[in-house]
Structure 1
């Protein structure tokens, strides 16, 4: 027979009263209840002023209830799949917004493909966070399936640069994302305005951004009346940048005069490599990058799509603080921020 929430919480209170103070993980083991359920019950009891949480431990409140931290003093856990490049700016945006609100961010990293999201989130919860900003390391092959457990987290959470699969429990989470399909449309529209009738796409496939860039390419080419060319798969090129340059050079010799490359870490290495094939940027080939992390440092500087990375982090943090304040009275928000196009020298003059 299933144990009711009231019965669970009564048992939790009994154990905590006897222990005085106990780690949440130990409490869950002692009761034989999943840790995520115990944390959810503790959060409810803390909100009622009956328990106090601090750094992964729980104790009975002997004085006025503190409840979940309100305003200044909130602690936000943030999960990202990597540091460096793209997510540095997302983290910086969230951290700056937290500081402005008197809160602070603690960071967890679960690399792509390592299947460590859940373990890292558990560690963040052990730090007694009030809420979570989550960028799980989901890959396009996995989709955003298998994420229903996120809906059972004991604290509010906002997905960052991620969306759960439609009609799943996790789809009811707040989310803040860049609209990468719009970013690709900006890129192809610029090249179309310069007179290009087709645009080659060289893109990764192993991240959500890459998936959205590829989908955006097909949609934008159709919308703008551009010929859709076979996509060059950046991720699976065993020869690295040299092979990528060779494939683009071969396409250029077959008539391609413009290429969009995701991401710009790959794109900035192409101009000197293409010169070894007798192709100069932008005279022979217009080159446009996606991400704009390093694009301005290329020679020549690359025109690039710039997702609003810092703003995504800040907006997600602000949304989480609103959720913590308003609770379920705030409708679920799933926001998309539009990238911009940074015009530099790598696309040249109209053809």
Structure 2
């Protein structure tokens, strides 16, 4: 049975951290994975600064922002490396380097049970503060989040916000305001005369829940018809089936679609075109993430959460918290606003 890229990369990183340095071919054999797949995952980990690679080998990242003798060590827990969280990591790493701090990465692979294990490993490595993107959903019970308040070092939530009734609300947090991002997309569609908007949604992740709730609230606020949510889309998306559902919705009057995320939108465009549905003439399309959106055909109008800025702001907030001492600063819940980049996939006003 195949495993997800997130799980593979978590396994690869754990093995590299155990061995210190290993040839990619040997790593692939040890993990029982194709060498080409391991090379691709190692490249993603290297781009995120989690490992170094050179001449067929991979090793623990050390070089570019190695910690000064007196610099603090910060742990960063993320559910995945690559795409979305790759940019968060890059922002955190850059900010830590500028501050003379050292960043240690843990990956929990979107499994709630892995969060505590990874945090224990980070703490054993000697980190003095934690940046946490735990496997939470807005629907979680408040008491399931309380454990993050019991950690022995200061912690800041990254791209997560606790419920107000949870003890974790007492922690600092930095996140993207996805409701604002979705509203910006819907407002642009409305300005073009599009009034029947569908949502193609990813599976249950924190961002997916925020996009869904932002879609419902934004359509209500702007007087748009929230036609339908094409649900259950994930990394193994059945693009043909999603295209079929999208076409059926256009037959019922849908004239625009918001797709979470870029990868799914880019897969759908050529299928829709092959079946006679023109973008943007028949259907305006906006994607959510803006990682690959400019590479679509046509290029995709897209919402970009401020991923790198979230990582950088979280590091700065954690360092302030660690330096606060007795006169600790007040708790901050920071939300950064996504931006909308208009490209070719929306067209002009609807006829």
**1:300 aligned to 298, 301, 305, which one?**
298
Where does structure 2 lack aligned partners over 5 or more consecutive residues?
Answer: 1-66
Match of 2:307 in 1: 309
CA distance in 2, matches of 1:72, 1:226: 56
- Summarize the Cα distance change of 1:218–1:173 in structure 2 as closer, same or farther, 3 Å threshold: same
Distance (Å, rounded) in 2 between the aligned partners of 1:164 and 1:295 = 30
The equivalent position to 1:213 in structure 2, one of 207, 211, 214, is 211
Q: How does 1:117-132 map to 2 (within 5 A)?
A: 117-132=115-130
TM-score by length of 1: 0.77
Question: C-alpha displacement at 1:142, in angstroms?
Answer: 3.4
Q: Which moved more, 1:300-309 or 1:230-239?
A: 230-239
Find the aligned partners of 2:69 and 2:171 in 1 and give their Cα distance.
22
Aligned pairs for 1:331-342 (under 5 A) are: 331-342=330-341
Residue 237 of structure 2 contacts residue 264 of structure 2 at CA under 8 Å; is this kept in 1? Answer: no
Residues in 1 aligned to 2:205 and 2:143: alpha-carbon distance in whole angstroms: 15
Deviation at 1:140, TM superposition (A): 4.6
Normalising by structure 2, what TM-score?
A: 0.77
Give, in angstroms, the shift of residue 299 of structure 1: 0.9
Alpha-carbon RMSD across the aligned residues, in angstroms, is 2.0
Match of 2:58 in 1: none
Measure how far apart 1:157 and its partner are: 0.3
> Structure 1, residues 226-276: CA drift from partner, whole Å, max 9, x if none?
112121104379861111111111111221110000111111111101022
2:163 is equivalent to residue 147 of structure 1: no
CA–CA separation in structure 2 for the residues paired with 1:320 and 1:297: 36
Instruction: Please tell me whether the aligned partners of residues 197 and 226 of structure 1 are also in contact (alpha carbons under 8 angstroms).
Output: yes
* Partner SS state of residue 89, structure 1: helix
Give deviations 1:205-237, integer Å, cap 9, x for gaps: 411111111111111111111112121104379
Q: How many residues align?
A: 283
Aligned counterpart for 1:196 among listed residues 194, 197, 207: 194
- Cα displacement (A) at 1:294: 1.0
Contact 1:113 1:138 in 2 (8 A): no
For residues 235 and 227 of structure 1, what CA distance do their matches in structure 2 show? 22
Shift of 1:70: 11
**Which of structures 1 and 2 has the bigger CA Rg?**
1
